Amino acid sequence: MSATFENVRLEIVNGVAWLEFARPPVNAFNRAMVDETFAAMKQALADPQARVLVIASAVEKYFSAGADLAAFAALDGAQMREWITLMHEIARTLRSADKPLLAAIHGVAVGGGLEMTLHCDLRFAADNAKFGQPEIAIAFIPPIATTQTLARLIGRPRAIRYLYEGKMASAAEALEWGLVDELVPVAELRARVQAYAEELAAKPAQALAAIRRTVTLGGGATFEEGMALELEEASALAASDDFREGVRAFLEKRPPQWRR
């Protein structure tokens, strides 16, 4: 990895890129941290050595404290609109990524950092995690396409009540709602996510990308549009070297050797 950052960390471990928020004491996002997060994200997604991207935190008790309100207070209306437009670009980048995206969440997770994880494919949470979208307390809404993603993820009634009330949810509640997919003891979180990510990294990248596109993009389409997308993706895979290798390996009763 070439770039260095002050507010985030980025490293690749066995094909798994870890993008960790790293602005102590609480990972409050100012403009510099947002810019670095976006730059590191794009760098990891463009790196052929990174086959899976994990969003995590390097701060012990906090995943994210949301926006740095001191930075927010200095913005006028036009500047806020520009900030939110940038947030939406981050959401689009995550949604359109052709690599599996995972989140490893521990401690307090509120606001923008948590919102980015909603665009990941799977969210692993430590048993000490606490989740919240408290923007109602400052007469605001979560701006990283969260009003759209959250309702699709946990259902409109639960999403709207969660945003109306601005209360914190425990890790167990988040699992029950479908906000996270697996709970892990905090001491085992990184190892569990690394192991799962390595499983994905060993799978055929083109097929993983096709699954991600059809499920993610197809979820916002009509059924017919979704089937049309599935047809194009399946047809492209059928012409791929990995598909031919997979079929041959199955027939020859041997492990497949995927393209890298």
Residue from 20, 36, 135, 233 carrying the catalytic annotation = 135
Residues 105 and 52 in one domain: yes
Report yes or no on 257 lying in a domain.
no
Sign of dihedral through CA atoms 202, 205, 210, 213? positive
Q: Report the domain count for the chain.
A: 2
Residues 59 and 33 in one domain: yes
Report yes or no on 2 lying in a domain.
no
Report yes or no on 79 lying in a domain.
yes
Round to whole Å and give the CA distance between 254 and 250.
Answer: 6
Domain that holds residue 127: 8-201
pLDDT of residue 45 exceeding 60, the answer is: yes
Report yes or no on 214 lying in a domain.
yes
Residues 60 and 111 in one domain: yes
Nearest one of 131, 133, 107, 129 to 183, comparing CA atoms: 129
Residues 221 and 145 in one domain: no
Mean of per-residue pLDDT scores for the chain: 93
Round to whole Å and give the CA distance between 22 and 42.
Answer: 17
Residues 230 and 175 in one domain: no
pTM (predicted TM-score): 0.93
At 225, is the pLDDT very low, low, confident or very high (cuts 50, 70, 90)?
Answer: confident
Residues 218 and 102 in one domain: no
Three-state secondary structure call for residue 154: helix
Question: Which CATH number belongs to the domain containing residue 242 in this structure?
Answer: 1.10.12
Question: Which CATH number belongs to the domain containing residue 87 in this structure?
Answer: 3.90.226.10
Residue 11 is among the residues annotated as catalytic for this protein: no
Residue 135 is among the residues annotated as catalytic for this protein: yes
Residues 123 and 92 in one domain: yes
Q: What is the DSSP string of 219-250?
A: TTS-HHHHHHHHHHHHHHHHTSHHHHHHHHHH
Report yes or no on 168 lying in a domain.
yes
At 193, is the pLDDT very low, low, confident or very high (cuts 50, 70, 90)?
Answer: very high
Report yes or no on 164 lying in a domain.
yes
Residues 77 and 167 in one domain: yes
Please say which residue of 161, 180, 201 terminates a domain. Answer: 201
Residues 56 and 90 in one domain: yes
| pLDDT of the residue at 2 | 53
Nearest one of 130, 82, 135 to 111, comparing CA atoms: 135
For the residues 47-76, what does the mean pLDDT come to?
A: 93
Q: How many CB atoms lie within 10 A of CB 124?
A: 26
Residue from 11, 20, 82, 115 carrying the catalytic annotation = 115
Nearest one of 40, 36, 64 to 50, comparing CA atoms: 40
pLDDT of residue 219 exceeding 80, the answer is: no
82-125 residue pLDDT tens = 989 999 999 999 999 999 999 999 999 999 999 999 999 999 99
Dihedral angle at the C-alpha atoms of 137, 175, 93, 258, nearest 10 degrees? 170
Residues 172 and 217 in one domain: no
Residues 226 and 191 in one domain: no
Which residues fall within 8 angstroms of residue 51, CB to CB, at 6 or more apart? 15, 16, 99, 100, 200, 201, 205
Residues 141 and 46 in one domain: yes
Report yes or no on 184 lying in a domain.
yes
Report yes or no on 142 lying in a domain.
yes
119-122 contacts at long range (C-beta below 8 A, 24 or more positions apart): 119/91, 119/94, 119/95, 119/144, 119/145, 119/149, 120/55, 120/94, 121/212, 121/216, 122/181, 122/182, 122/196
